[in-house]
Amino acid sequence: MDTNVDTDVPHHNAWIIEYMSGMRIFLVHEWWKVVVPVSIFALCVAAGFVARRLLFRVLSRANARTKDILIQSLRGPIIIWSVILGADLALRNSVIPTRYVREVHLVLLALWIISLTLMSSQLVGNLVAFYGGRATGAAGRSATLTRTVAQLVVSLIGLLILLNHVGVDIRPLLTALGVGGLAVALALQDTLSNLFAGFYITLAGQIHIGHYVKLNTGEEGYIEDITWRSTTLRGLGGNLIFVPNSKLGQAIFTNFNLPTKRMSASINVRVPYDCDLDHVEQVLLDEAKAGVGQIDGMAPDSKPSISLIPGFGDSSLVLSVNYELVEFVAQFGVQSELRRRIWKRFRAEGITIALPAQTVVLTGDEKGSVAGLQS
């Protein structure tokens, strides 16, 4: 046992001596084979940091929201691309055999395509969300369905480029997708119905995120989102209403934001038939005009008017106080405040509000029957 150990020691020492001798020769005469690739890699990464900083400085002059979108989308990928480029150039200037360098180059190119696709998908989604929402006045918001479709298109293009890069023939794949798509369409009729209805709703431009709509079935609220399956409404109470896209596409609804949010409204006031009609109209007009600029939700340039409509009621005259609102949902607060002002002014002016009443005319026989019942 001891003899074997003693015999192995010289061989072990010889291997160490040979290894150290080889390292010494390499560091003295062939050091550039390591330093050059490492230096190229380090320079590419450093150049990536510098390029990112210069690019962000240029982008700082752009629109604040656009700048944030671009910076968020490019912050990470720029460094990843510089690392991929540095690794590729370092390998090309190394002593690694060419066939291995070629294989690694293909892997790096695939990684670059994947990173570029992911970055483009995120960038397109953010840009669609911002500019789509700004076009509709929805404070930088757009439908989830719109963003998803845009991102899927970019991802699909990137996938086709990647498959072509690795040498995959996509024609059989497209044929298989065509046959399989027919089977999927038959199995998912309801889902596809909602999906295409969502496309129609989005492209038709009849509703947008932030619009207030009321359906003929009674549901109403702000459009919160349009997804591949349903449209989400937020009611005035804060509750969410989910309407399948196929149902919304067939529904009759009123959009209170089109063509503009501004709209006309009115409240009815009932007064007795024996009142001074001219005086009542003047009082109502004075209070309505006084509310302009003071009542939140009433259009600041509204021109109120009084009309004898509906006019002659069963037991009173019915007048309409007409005015304009900044938006549909403002009507509730405006009506409440305007009624309070009218009530107080009527009390000060001695004007009464008519109560429901009905006059019954009795004939002679009917009078006798009523008298008999009273006795």
Residue 302 burial by Cβ neighbours in a 10 Å radius (0-12, 13-18, 19+): buried
Portion of the chain with pLDDT greater than 90, in percent: 22
Looking only at the bridges linking them, the beta strands covering 230-234 and 240-244 are antiparallel
Cis peptide before 310 (omega within 30 of 0): yes
Q: How many CB atoms lie within 10 A of CB 343?
A: 14
User: Which of the four pLDDT bands, split at 50, 70 and 90, describes residue 179?
Assistant: low
**Is the CATH number 3.30.70.100 carried by domain 263-349?**
yes
What is the pLDDT confidence band of residue 5, given thresholds at 50, 70 and 90? very low
Q: Which amino acid is at 53?
A: R
**Model-level pTM?**
0.61
Same CATH topology for 185-255 and 263-349? no
pLDDT band at 17 (very low <50, low <70, confident <90, very high): low
Rounded to an integer, the average pLDDT of 128-138 is: 61
| From 94-108, 168-182, 240-254, the region with the lowest mean pLDDT | 168-182
- Whether the pLDDT of residue 101 is over 50: the answer is yes
For the chain, percent of residues with pLDDT exceeding 70: 78
Domain boundaries, the chain: 20-163, 185-255, 263-349
In CATH terms, the fold of domain 185-255 is SH3 type barrels. (2.30.30)
Helix axes of 144-165 and 98-135: crossing angle, nearest 10 degrees: 160
Q: Look at 19-33, 49-63, 99-113, 259-273 and tell me which has the smallest mean pLDDT.
A: 19-33
Answer whether residue 119 shows pLDDT above 50.
Answer: yes
Residue 277 confidence (pLDDT) = 92
pLDDT higher than 90, residue 283: yes
Distance CA(192)–CA(198), nearest Å, equals 10
In the prediction, which pLDDT does 1 show?
A: 45
Task: Verify cis geometry, omega within 30 degrees of 0, for the bond prior to 259.
Answer: yes
Q: Taking residues 264-285, what's their average pLDDT? A: 92
Q: Give yes or no for residue 3 having a pLDDT over 50.
A: no
Secondary structure of the chain in HEC code, one letter for each residue: CHHHHHHHHHHHHHHHHHHHHHHHHHHHHCCHHHHHHHHHHHHHHHHHHHHHHHHHHHHCCCCHHHHHHHHHHHHHHHHHHHHHHHHHHHHHCCCCCHHHHHHHHHHHHHHHHHHHHHHHHHHHHHHHHHHHHHHCCCCCCCCHHHHHHHHHHHHHHHHHHHHHHCCCCHHHHHHHHHHHHHHHHHHCHHHHHHHHHHHHHHHHCCCCCCCEEEECCCCEEEEEEECCCEEEEECCCCCEEEEEHHHHHHCCEEECCCCCCCEEEEEEEEECCCCCHHHHHHHHHHHHHHHCCCCCCECCCCCCEEEEEEEECCCCEEEEEEEEECCHHHHHHHHHHHHHHHHHHHHHHCCCCCCCCCCCCCCHHHHHHHHHHHC
Q: Which among 58, 53, 113, 55 is positioned nearest to 80, based on CA atoms?
A: 113
Residue 160 half-sphere exposure toward CB, CA atoms < 13 A: 10
3-state SS string for 152-213: HHHHHHHHHHHHHHCCCCHHHHHHHHHHHHHHHHHHCHHHHHHHHHHHHHHHHCCCCCCCEE
Q: Is 96 left (phi over 0), alpha (psi -120 to 50) or beta?
A: beta
Q: How far is CA 233 from CA 8, 196, 221, in A?
A: 82, 19, 5
CB atoms within 10 A of CB 162: 16
Distance, CA of 111 to chain centre:
30
